[in-house]
Structure 1
Amino acid sequence: MVLYDAIFIIELFLKDWEDKNDCLLDKPRLRFGLELDLQLPENQLPYFILEKFYSLAKSERENYPDDFIGLPRKFYDSLSNEELSYQAEVKHFTDLRRNDLSQNLLEEYGPHLSGSPSAVKLNESGVKLKGIKGGCLLNIVREKRNFKIPIPYFSGVELKIPHMEIEDGTETVTRNVMAFEQCHYPSNPHICNYIKFMDDLIDTEKDIDLLIEKGILLNSLGDNATIVRMFNRFGLNITLSKSCYSGIVKDLNEHYNNGWNHARATLKRVYFSNPWKGTGTIAAIILYYLHPYKPFVPLSKFCGFSNC
């Protein structure tokens, strides 16, 4: 049985490599089903067996790739197009998916922290969310950013999150990788940590709207409520001991719990959303206080904040 399965998989990948007509590959629904089934943990063949059989087939054809790993990476065109930056010891296709998603991950582990504010709450506290394309999906970066108008204490935080497309197979593939990771990589749960971080960001459909607007998510399902439920269910019954996002979560919580950041964000949004409005606001404040017949009014009341 193992022999038949191995021959089927190698033949399927070779036909895809050569772009040959095939009754399975030419029908999108059947191909999509194969892509998902071949990543189920219960359907896996040891990678070294496939590699051994491929070496026998490779000896007869010069146009085949030197390493077997090139075939599944082409077949799963949703995998990263970048070359693996290291010689990964792949166990099977589920493990290959995990390796491909987490390659070039900037690892900086600390104790697992959860409960960071949602995307909308972070945005309201002055955290700028920005989607980035390319690179490792898991590399979430927070940076200090300066305000457009050089005003003291108006620097903020920018959270850069790689772009992710949510499509029909996203939930199935993610659950497979998470289950495999919980069993075989409990001390390095890269995917589980990423999903948990995104789960904290996503509480309501408004969070999805904001993440889509910022270029972080692309909704190919058509229903934001489905994405909310999907991410909220992802975080159930998983165990995390450490995380590469612990420092980011700590900084975000400290930023959000600082009342000045909320007041500053509102002031920037209302009076300094662009250079022209900011310049006009500063000019109005100066003129107001230079006018000889105006009583003194604290700047906090002028801005509309009781604790500014």
Structure 2
Amino acid sequence: MEVSPIANDSAAIQPNDQWAIDIPSKHCCIYRVPTKLRKINEEAYTPQVVAIGPFHYKTDKNEKKEPAYPKEYEQMEKQKKRYLDFFCNRTGTKKEDITTFIRSRKEKIRHWYSEEFEMINDEEFVEMVKLDAIFIIELFWRSHKWTRNLSNDGYPNPEIPYHLSVNPCRKNITKEDLMLLENQLPYFILEGLYSDFVYKVLEERGYDVPTFLQLTCEFFFEDPKIPDAVKQRGKGIAHFTDLLRTYYCHEMPPIGELETMYNATALSEAGLKFNRSKHEKPYVQFHHPEILGRLPCLNCSAISACLPCFKCVPYLELMQPRLELSHFLVEIGTEVLYRNLMALEQCHYPFETRICNYIRILDNLIVSGKDVDLLVDRKVIANGLGGSEAASKLINTLCDQIVPCDQSDKDSGDGLSKKLNDYYENPWNRTMATMTNTYFSNFWRGTATIVGIIILLFAFWNFLRPFVM
């Protein structure tokens, strides 16, 4: 048996527990979502229009043994056959050659899955992989900007009927389906087919051909440039869900052990500022100079609040306790993406749950619509659901039945949640925050406070002057 490219990944679980049962190979990386997670929102793990791989492949019990898909998949099954014909005509490839290529790797492909699928015989399995793989390659190829500039010498023309990539709605739904953990093919078979039947053919014709990884990145991230995190992972990418996790958790710093912490409103009332980070991927970082723990009076939040023109002064920014969070878009697709990334971590990376930990932090910060409004005002969250309560409910349910555990964070000192709790529970921080909100919340109130203090000092001096002169 060939060794999986992710077999040596120290974070990968050897699936022998209650989360993944009946597993033929310790190298599997495509899982059926655990029942406890699926029950929370089954639709988030189920493809809408296109079924990929064996988890959603059905076989009739009749004599014909024809694959039986729900009605919502039937149209796309016809599309897969059209794409296979287009692919073979343009590349000059025989369908038998593709079948032979896949058949020689079918055992390795089967070992990628957490179940044996005994009801699907080898020929059905190979045919299923062939249709699904060529469909994905053809879709990615047609979606790539580079292909639209080719002359019509046998390669894609964006005006071909049934071209999914010209319909933004259908493309978006298909993209969402290809993110699902249960709806995956091993990445190596897609890359292998593309390399042998597309890349080599075009290279021989003198074209500067994009790699399959470039096609994939443009399809999912709308950028042909391969992200550094994905480039570093290289051959270790298992499938599209794994690629997305690699991309999203790359910049996230360790956050230590997690515990229950105070919500965003409470922390804000204690003087903590929430800032949008420059990082666009999941990121959270607490900035609190040690000297403020001993001398809270050095906190410059009051000056920054009443004199916003000085916000750009480095010293003032440095001396303000703040929590930096990456921009988080809350919309319908958010739930699908993060539920599947978290399900992958629970099954395959149980000791490196970076995405789960990030969502857990958001879950603790947001307990009501008031917290959402605060973070929206600070441009940390963009609420695409309309009501703040709807956004709060979505974030709060993402962590249901999730067990966050990141062993790589255990030696990073006090966890982020403990630092934030200690900050809130320090009475000086709340006192300074109360004074700032009461007397220095804006320019006019700050000016009035300073003028009042000056008048009070003059009055006190006038009272004392007869006694000291």
TM-score interval (norm. to shorter): 0.7 to 0.9
Matched residue, 2:276: 131
CA contact (8 A) 1:79 1:97 kept: no
1:130, distance to aligned residue in structure 2 (A): 0.7
Aligned equivalents of 1:257, 1:80: Cα separation in 2: 47
Query: Which ranges of 4 or more aligned residues in structure 1 deviate by more than 4 Å?
Result: 78-82, 243-246, 292-295
What is the CA-CA distance between 1:289 and the residue it aligns to? 4.6
Q: State the shift of 1:80 in Å.
A: 10
- Give the one of 164, 168, 185 matched to 2:332: 168
Contact 2:218 2:224 in 1 (8 A): no
Q: Which residue does 1:299 correspond to in 2?
A: none
Is residue 142–residue 163 contact of structure 2 (8 Å, CA) maintained in 1? no
1:73 aligns with 2:217: yes
Structure 1 residue 280: Cα displacement? 3.9
Aligned-pair distance for 1:290?
A: 4.3
Question: In the alignment, which residue of structure 2 is the partner of 1:49?
Answer: 189
Question: Which deviates the most, 39-48 or 137-146?
Answer: 137-146
Query: What is the aligned partner in structure 2 of residue 140 from structure 1?
Result: 284
- Structure-2 separation of matches of 1:160 and 1:93: 29
In structure 2, how many angstroms separate the alpha carbons of the residues matched to 1:44 and 1:262?
A: 50
- In the alignment, is residue 91 of structure 1 matched against residue 204 of structure 2? no
- C-alpha distance in 2, partners of 1:232/1:186? 21
1:35-57: per-residue Cα shift (whole Å, max 9, x none)? 11111111110011111011011
Provide the residue aligned with 1:258 in structure 2. 426
Is 1:116–2:264 an aligned residue pair? no
- Report the Cα offset of residue 210 of structure 1: 0.8
Of Structure 1 and Structure 2, which has the larger fraction of its residues in helix? 2
Q: If the length of structure 1 is used for normalisation, what is the TM-score? A: 0.85
Partners in 1 of 2:322 and 2:178 — Cα distance? 39
Alignment partner, residue 304 of structure 1: none
Question: Which residue does 2:112 correspond to in 1?
Answer: none
1:39 aligns with 2:179: yes
Q: TM-score, normalised by structure 2?
A: 0.57
Query: Which amino acid in 2 is paired with 1:139?
Result: Y
Assess if the C-alpha contact under 8 Å between 1:132 and 1:215 holds in 2: no
Could you tell me which runs of 5 or more consecutive residues in structure 2 were left unpaired when the two chains were aligned: 1-127, 149-157, 290-298, 305-318, 464-469
Distance 1:78 1:132, change over 3 A: farther
State the shift of 1:212 in Å: 0.7
**CA distance in structure 2 between the partners assigned to 1:249 and 1:79 by the alignment:** 35
The alignment partner of 1:70 has SS state of helix
Structure that is richer in strand per residue: 1
Match of 1:247 in 2: 415
Query: What is the RMSD of the two structures over their aligned residues, measured on CA atoms?
Result: 2.7
Identity level (%): 36
Please point out which of 361, 376, 380 is paired with 1:216.
380
**3-state SS, counterpart of residue 241 of structure 1:** coil
- Number of equivalenced pairs: 289
Mapped partners of 1:80, 1:211: distance in 2 = 32
1:26 matches 2:153 = no
Q: Which amino acid is the alignment partner of residue 259 of structure 2?
A: S
Of residues 244, 263, 270, the one that matches 2:438 is: 270
| Alignment-derived partner of residue 348 in structure 2 | 184
Change (3 A) 1:82 1:12: closer
Q: Whose radius of gyration is greater, 1 or 2?
A: 2
- 1:59 aligned to 192, 196, 200, which one? 200
Cα distance in 1 for partners of 2:208, 2:355 equals 35
Q: Tell me the distance in 2 between the aligned counterparts of 1:220 and 1:78.
A: 20
For 1:273, what is the secondary structure of its paired residue? coil
**Aligned with 1:160: secondary structure?**
strand
Provide closer, same or farther for how the CA distance between residues 277 and 223 of structure 1 changes in structure 2, counting only shifts above 3 A: closer
One-letter identity of the residue aligned with 2:452:
A
**Are the equivalent residues in 2 in contact too, given 1:125–1:262 (CA < 8 A)?**
yes
Q: Secondary structure at the match of 2:286?
A: strand
The Cα shift of 1:283 comes to: 4.0
Deviation at 1:276, TM superposition (A): 5.7
CA shift for structure 1 position 217: 0.8
CA shift for structure 1 position 166:
1.8
Q: Check whether the contact 1:143–1:159 (CA below 8 A) recurs between aligned residues.
A: yes
Distance 2:357 2:390 in 1: 21
Q: Tell me, in whole angstroms, the C-alpha distance in 1 between the residues paired with 2:440 and 2:460.
A: 26
